[in-house]
């Protein structure tokens, strides 16, 4: 029996219930699939606003993606979990089961974070799914305040995430179509049948590799579209800056960033086939 793998991106604010959901998935007896819980908090540094912390955070996220890729390769090669990054695994009661769910337990509040997981699926020909645990900011703050000190996120960071969280939108981003919404759910057992059905079907949602051939016309068209999106994003960012001196600094910085992003995108699009969905990811590099 061939191995089937589905990366499941969990989305939601801190204290929305992502880790609780993961522990619930690990606790329930079932024969449909093997469950692997990958909690990003085990690998990411504590959040603060310093530049060094931001650089370290991006570096660790890149390492996590590389580890997930290695894990997928391990599973595809021999359906065996040997990776030392995995702390929580629930094997199916069916010993012959070669279906694996990898729960990517992170806030995933930027769409670009989720899209990197989607790209991993495309590269490895595995399935992709999203579960959005929608939670009111007030409730998240209340739950967060009850956490132990070493697990608590500052109210400032949580509120900022509440503003920045980019909710799944399959109308604009077709790759987010396979998304399950769990809104204000405190007892996952009530929705057990629906959740397991969604995850079981998700194993068939294999992300297909791109087949678009890259012509000169395609490169020019995509670069033009990206340039327009970057200019619009720059305009949106500058509208939020009231201080004229700071605005002037930001203009120079954002223009330099725009040029660098366009150069990087050109290299990428000329080397590989690329989807129009990738444009949004490059726009987010301005953030």
Mean pLDDT to the nearest integer, 179-204 = 92
Contact 220, 21 (CB under 8 A): no
Contact 67, 59 (CB under 8 A): no
| Cα dihedral 68/29/201/104 (nearest 10) | -20
Mean pLDDT to the nearest integer, 245-270 = 86
Mean pLDDT to the nearest integer, 23-48 = 81
Instruction: Tell which wins on pLDDT, 177 or 222.
Output: 177
Whole-number mean pLDDT of the chain? 84
Q: Identify which of 74-83, 206-215, 230-239, 277-286 has the greatest average pLDDT.
A: 230-239
106-123 CB burial, b ≥16 within 10 A, e <16: bbbbbbebbbbbbbbbbe
pLDDT in tens, 125-142: 999 999 999 999 999 999
pLDDT band for position 50 (50/70/90)?
very low
CA nearest to 257, candidates 223, 234, 280: 234
CA nearest to 280, candidates 80, 119, 83, 74: 119
Burial of 228 (0-12, 13-18, 19+ CB in 10 A): exposed
- pLDDT for 240 equals 79
- pLDDT for 51 equals 44
In whole angstroms, what is the distance from residue 181 CA to residue 24 CA?
17
- pLDDT for 76 equals 85
Secondary structure element (H or E) that encloses residue 141, with its range: helix 137-145
């Amino acid at each position: 029996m061939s191995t089937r793998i589905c990366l499941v991106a969990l989305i939601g604010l801190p204290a929305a219930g992502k880790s609780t959901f993961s522990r619930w998935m690990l606790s329930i007896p079932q024969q449909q699939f093997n469950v692997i819980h990958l909690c990003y908090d085990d690998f990411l540094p504590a959040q603060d606003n310093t530049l060094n912390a931001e650089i370290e955070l991006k570096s660790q996220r890149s390492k996590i993606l590389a580890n997930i890729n290695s894990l997928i390769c391990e599973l595809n090669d021999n359906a065996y979990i040997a990776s030392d990054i995995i702390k929580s695994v629930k094997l199916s009661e069916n010993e012959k089961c070669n279906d694996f769910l990898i729960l990517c337990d992170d806030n995933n509040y930027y769409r670009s974070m989720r899209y990197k997981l989607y790209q991993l699926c495309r590269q490895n020909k595995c399935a992709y799914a999203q579960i959005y645990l929608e939670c009111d900011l007030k409730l998240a703050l209340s739950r967060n305040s009850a956490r132990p000190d070493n697990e608590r996120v500052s109210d400032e960071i949580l509120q900022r995430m509440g503003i920045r969280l980019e909710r799944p939108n399959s109308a604009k981003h077709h790759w987010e179509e396979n998304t399950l919404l769990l809104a204000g759910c405190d007892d996952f057992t009530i929705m057990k049948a629906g959740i397991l059905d969604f995850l079981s079907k998700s194993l068939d949602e294999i992300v297909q590799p791109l087949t678009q051939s890259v012509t000169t016309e395609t490169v020019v068209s995509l670069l033009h579209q990206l340039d327009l999106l970057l200019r619009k994003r720059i305009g949106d960012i500058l509208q939020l800056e009231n201080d004229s001196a700071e605005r002037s600094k930001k203009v120079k910085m954002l223009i330099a960033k725009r040029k660098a992003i366009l150069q990087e995108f050109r290299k990428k699009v000329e080397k590989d086939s690329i989807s129009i969905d990738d444009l949004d990811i490059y726009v987010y590099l301005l953030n």
